[in-house]
Structure 1
Amino acid sequence: MPIGLIALALGGFGIGLTEFVIMGLLPEVAADFQVSEATAGWLISGYALAVVVGALLLTAAVTRFERRPVLAVLMVLFIAGNLVSALAPDYWLMMLGRIIAALAHGAFFGIGAVVAASMVAPTKKAGAIAIMFTGLTAANVLGVPFGTMLGQAAGWRSTFWAITGIGVLALVGILALVPRTGAGEAAPGGLRGELRAFRSRQVWLSILVTILGYGGMFGAFTYIAFTLTEVTGFSASTVPWLLILFGVGLFVGNTVGGRAADRNVDRTLLVALSALVVVLVVFALTAGSQPMTIASMVLLGGFGFATVPGLQMRVMKYATTAPTLASGANIGAFNVGNALGAWMGGVTITAGLGYTSPIWAGAGITLLGLAVMVFASAAAAKRRDGGASAAIARGADSEQENVEPQRA
């Protein structure tokens, strides 16, 4: 394993921690800034929207530059955003810090995925992307619970100081460990060349699968605390430990999904999305059982994140010579999926359908993602078969041309 992947994973860990740890610290932040918890919640929504903007605009702005220095600059931006958050004297400066950090999020993962894939053999690209995303899963398994405990014990600002320190370590690691060979050239024609990747129907289909497939899982996960306490009957103090089990599922699914995608991307996604639909349906039906809920939590994380390396690899595969912007756009698509799933889950709860309704909504969204994936895979297979048939026909014509002159 190239050691530079560890530096990318550390950056992913810090970014994942920034994104998710705020959920456990909202009461403290709201009390400190004297705002409602709903207003404090915009620190999450604002971050997600800024990720989408950064994934598209910031990635587009840096496509012509060498990738290792770009990753370093993005990490400096991430450090600055968390420093602003740690020092923020009021709510709006805290929001500014969140937005600055979020702008680096999408571009870092989008460009980092391209760099990670370029550091290994072609048959190990999805596995390399999975290693980078291991930092994100580790942030959920370990970072969020311990970051929340640190913030509750020493004040929420202490957590953002710790994240700033992680960012500094990641910056040093990127500069020292990521080789120049891990940075590719910009697409021919610069930004225009990168934009040409979006002429591919398969790129758009892959992005749509990302939105629907990941959005379904996140829709169920967003309101999971209400399901666990109000439906399953767990105490509130048990929820963080159950979330760790979910995180363990993320870690295992990410690793296994990356290895499977290296063998066959489309088959991996079809299997993982099908299994995810089944898990969500079973979870919704058995949410009143504590043992079944525990099993569903692990499997939800496992199959949900088993799709991530394959989804990222697929969009890069069909973007061919211009993968950077398409990769960043797909990172933005993950966050659009987050917003879609959370919104749908909220709609069902507001409609009075109960706290298992977000799980049903997640199953429906994921089923749509599976349908798109079936269509995309079939279209890709048809095109491959058509290309193979044309190549055989051209070969036969060439052979016939060579034979006929000899007869003459």
Structure 2
Amino acid sequence: MPVAVYVLGLSIFAQGTSELMLAGLLPELSHDLGVSIPAAGLLISAFALGMLLGAPILAVITLKWSRRTALVLFLAVFALTHVVAALTPNYAVLLATRIVGAFVYAGFWSVAAVTVMALVPADRRARAMSIVTGGLTIATIVGLPIGTVLGQHLGWRAAFWTVAALCVCALIGVLRTIPGGRPDPATAPDLGAELRALINPRLWLAFATTALITSSILVVFSYLAPLLIRETGLPAGAVPGVLALYGLGSFIGITLGGRTADALPFHTLFVGISGLIVLSALLALTAGSPVVAIATIFLLGGFGFAVNPALNARVFSLAGNAPTMATATNFSSFNIGITLGPWLGGLAIGAGAGYPALGWIAVGTGLAALATVVVAAYLPVSSPDHSGRGATDRSPRAA
């Protein structure tokens, strides 16, 4: 793998730490800002909303930019939003910084994904994306628990300062490893071709799968800290360790998924989603048992993240030679799920359903995700892409 792939993974780690760390800081944010836990949870949904809007908009704006310029600019703005967030005492300002930061984070994801896919052969794309996305899982293992510890002992603002510093380090790495210069006009992306590539029913089923799986993961993950404290009965000091265990499961899952997704994308999706459904139901039934709940959370991370490489590589394959808008739309789909999951969870908690209800919501969205995969599996194997040559998607029969 080119060094640049690992640098982009480091950049995702820096920004992904911010994306994830609020799941461990909700009690501190709620107390310090004087808002309820569901209101603090909306900061997670606000971040997802920013990503939802940012991916397609910035994909169009930066279509003919130097990729290095775009990546550096996004990292710089992301770091600045965290400086502002660390200084503000106001919930509304913090909410705004989450939206703006997520907006450029989505742009970074879109440009980084296209950059990575251009750096490696077609049969290595899922593995390359698993390395980049692995930055997010390492953020779960390292960044999330460290952010939680910082928040518990030094205040949540210390976690935001740390993310800003990490982004500066990532920015230096991008400057040193990603080539500069604008794309060759002869091979530069064409907006018309990018939009025509989206006229593919398989792509939209893939986007739906992405949104529903992500919702299943986030409806539980967003409220893990209060669930562990209030339902499972763990002390607050134990929460970072459980979150790190979730991250370890995620890392194992995405590593294994990256090795199977290129050859067996549908099989990877079937196994990952089915495991997610079963484990969500188990958590709903056993949330009050610490040993079972902790083991279930570890496995949820593994099965939930195992499908990620297949989701990304499948969309890129279906898009043919115009992957930028399809990739951006897929990231928007991720963030539809990130928005939907915490919102549904907040509704359930606010209605007094209790934290075990989160698992049952995840079961419902997981079953819907599995249905989209089944439908896609039995559509015709080839669909015309923007160039008329046909974009292929390997069904269970073909795989």
Considering the TM-score relative to the shorter chain, is it more than 0.5? yes
Give the shorter-chain TM-score range.
Answer: 0.7 to 0.9
Q: Are residue 81 (structure 1) and residue 81 (structure 2) matched?
A: yes
What is the rounded CA distance, in whole Å, between the counterparts of 2:186 and 2:241 in structure 1? Answer: 44
Q: 1:332 to 1:33 in 2, by over 3 A?
A: same
Question: Who is 2:370 aligned against?
Answer: 370
Render the CA deviation track for 1:160-193: whole Å, top value 9, x for unaligned: 2221111111111111112469979898773222
**What SS does the corresponding residue of 1:278 show, helix, strand or coil?**
helix
Question: Who is 1:207 aligned against?
Answer: 207
- Partner amino acid for 1:344? L
After TM superposition, the structure 1 = structure 2 runs for residues 303-382 of structure 1, keeping only pairs within 5 Å, are 303-381=303-381
After TM superposition, the structure 1 = structure 2 runs for residues 109-124 of structure 1, keeping only pairs within 5 Å, are 109-124=109-124
Moved more, 140-149 or 253-262: 140-149
What is the rounded CA distance, in whole Å, between the counterparts of 2:342 and 2:40 in structure 1? Answer: 16
What is the rounded CA distance, in whole Å, between the counterparts of 2:63 and 2:38 in structure 1? Answer: 37
Question: Who is 2:107 aligned against?
Answer: 107
CA shift, 1:357, in A, is 1.5
Question: Who is 1:396 aligned against?
Answer: none
CA shift, 1:377, in A, is 1.6
What is the rounded CA distance, in whole Å, between the counterparts of 1:184 and 1:227 in structure 2? Answer: 52
Question: Who is 2:217 aligned against?
Answer: 217
Question: Who is 1:153 aligned against?
Answer: 153
Is the Cα contact below 8 Å between 1:137 and 1:251 reproduced in 2? yes
What is the rounded CA distance, in whole Å, between the counterparts of 1:232 and 1:155 in structure 2? Answer: 24
Is the Cα contact below 8 Å between 1:345 and 1:358 reproduced in 2? yes
The structure in which a higher percent of residues are helix is: 1
Question: Who is 2:254 aligned against?
Answer: 254
RMSD of aligned alpha carbons:
2.8
What is the rounded CA distance, in whole Å, between the counterparts of 2:173 and 2:302 in structure 1? Answer: 29
Is the Cα contact below 8 Å between 1:208 and 1:369 reproduced in 2? yes
Render the CA deviation track for 1:114-151: whole Å, top value 9, x for unaligned: 21122222211111111111111111111122123224
What is the rounded CA distance, in whole Å, between the counterparts of 1:152 and 1:349 in structure 2? Answer: 23
What is the rounded CA distance, in whole Å, between the counterparts of 1:288 and 1:33 in structure 2? Answer: 29
Q: Are residue 169 (structure 1) and residue 198 (structure 2) matched?
A: no
Q: Are residue 51 (structure 1) and residue 48 (structure 2) matched?
A: no
Larger Rg belongs to:
1
Moved more, 22-31 or 54-63: 22-31
Is the Cα contact below 8 Å between 1:187 and 1:321 reproduced in 2? no
What is the rounded CA distance, in whole Å, between the counterparts of 2:286 and 2:186 in structure 1? Answer: 50
Question: Who is 2:274 aligned against?
Answer: 274
**What SS does the corresponding residue of 1:199 show, helix, strand or coil?**
coil
Is the Cα contact below 8 Å between 2:41 and 2:342 reproduced in 1? no
**What SS does the corresponding residue of 1:263 show, helix, strand or coil?**
coil
Q: 1:186 to 1:135 in 2, by over 3 A?
A: farther
CA shift, 1:249, in A, is 0.7
- Partner amino acid for 1:11? S
Question: Who is 1:14 aligned against?
Answer: 14
What is the total number of aligned residue pairs between the two structures?
A: 386
- Partner amino acid for 1:157? R
Is the Cα contact below 8 Å between 1:118 and 1:184 reproduced in 2? no
- Partner amino acid for 2:190? G
Per the normalisation by structure 1, the TM-score is 0.85
Question: What runs of 5+ residues in structure 2 fail to find an aligned partner?
Answer: 391-399
Question: What runs of 5+ residues in structure 1 fail to find an aligned partner?
Answer: 389-408
Is the Cα contact below 8 Å between 2:189 and 2:322 reproduced in 1? no
